Amino acid sequence: MKSIKNRFWEKVDVRTPDDCWQWKASLSDKRYGNIKVSGKMVKSHRLSYELEFGDIPNGLNVLHKCDNGLCVNPKHLFLGTHNDNMKDCAKKGTHNGNSKLNHNNIQDIRSNCVKGDRKYGLSSFARKYNVSAQTIWGIVHNNNWTHIPPPKKAE
């Protein structure tokens, strides 16, 4: 029987040390690699981190410096909280594979979709960004994307 380490690395396209090392096997619905370990599905980038560096402390995520969810190169992985991940995305102007919005979109929505203003209402922004009106409402009311501060009010 193969070790988990051997099973893992045979499913990876290993390149030069600085390149992304792409996961070639099973994918989750969120565009991350999956591998079964002791009967449980584990994200491939998390297992890569554990194989190289050891256990992941509770409450921390494994983040990608390269913003490539299929990359399992340990040099591209680092630990952080969910909030760290959101700040990293905002700083880079990127978003994860599930999100249709980025930092600039959020600022546009918060600046121009004024609460109660029918001219620039929730529905028009929902159509513009291909998301639900509920998503826009949450952004306008600062219930989501909270790592991006609301625009300053004109004095």
Residues 6+ apart with CB under 8 A from 139: 101, 106, 109, 110, 113, 145
The pair phi, psi for residue 63, each rounded to 5°, is -105, 160
Segment 91-109, tens digit of pLDDT:
665 554 456 677 778 888 8
Segment 38-66, tens digit of pLDDT:
999 999 999 999 999 999 999 999 998 87
Q: Give the pTM.
A: 0.60
